[in-house]
Amino acid sequence: MKNSELELQRISIDDYKENMDDFNVGLFNTWQWVNSLTNEFTEDIYFHITKNGEIIGKACGFLLNQKRKGKHLYITGGPNFKEWDAGLFKESLALLHSYALKEGFARIHIRPFEQVVHEVLDIDNYFRTVAREYVIDYSEHVDKVKFSYGFKQNAKKARKAGAEFKSTRSAEVLDRLIELMDNTRLTRKEKYGQNYDPMYMLNLNKDTLTKLLDTGMGIMHYAEIAGEIHSVQFNLEHDGKIFGLLMGSDDDAYSKGIPSFIDQNISEKAMKENARYYNLGTVPLDREGGQGLRKYKESQSGREIVRYGYYSYFLIYPNKLLNPFIKLSKKLPDNKIINLCRKLIRIFNFQ
Give me the CATH number covering residue 34.
Answer: 3.40.630.30
Residues 89 and 235 in one domain: no
- For residue 344, the model assigns a pLDDT of 64
Residues 115 and 196 in one domain: no
Residues 168 and 44 in one domain: no
pLDDT-based confidence at residue 339 (cuts at 50, 70, 90)? low
Q: Has residue 332 been placed in a domain?
A: no
Q: Does pLDDT of 275 surpass 50?
A: yes
Looking at the chain, list the stretches that DSSP marks H as alpha helix, in order from N- to C-terminal side. 13-17, 31-37, 86-103, 149-160, 171-192, 206-215, 251-255, 258-272, 290-298, 323-331, 336-349
Q: Has residue 331 been placed in a domain?
A: no
Residue type, 105: F
- For residue 341, the model assigns a pLDDT of 67
More confident residue, 57 or 197: 57
Note the pTM of the prediction, 2 decimals: 0.92
> What size, in residues, is the chain?
351
CA quadruple 12, 17, 18, 19: dihedral sign: positive
Question: 101: burial class by Cβ within 10 Å (0-12, 13-18, 19+)?
Answer: middle
Q: Has residue 324 been placed in a domain?
A: no
> Which residues does 255 contact at the CB level (< 8 Å), separation at least 6?
none
Q: Has residue 76 been placed in a domain?
A: yes
pLDDT-based confidence at residue 244 (cuts at 50, 70, 90)? very high
Residues 106 and 205 in one domain: no
Q: Has residue 346 been placed in a domain?
A: no
> Which residues does 160 contact at the CB level (< 8 Å), separation at least 6?
none
Q: Are 322 and 345 in contact (CB under 8 A)?
A: yes
Residues 158 and 119 in one domain: no
Q: Has residue 342 been placed in a domain?
A: no
Residues 94 and 48 in one domain: yes
Domains: count for the chain: 2
Domain holding 32, by residue range, is 2-130+309-316
In the chain, the percentage of residues whose pLDDT exceeds 90 is 77
Q: What is the pLDDT of residues 129-147, one digit of tens each?
A: 999 999 999 999 998 999 9
Residues 197 and 272 in one domain: yes
- For residue 294, the model assigns a pLDDT of 95
- For residue 4, the model assigns a pLDDT of 62
Q: Does pLDDT of 150 surpass 60?
A: yes
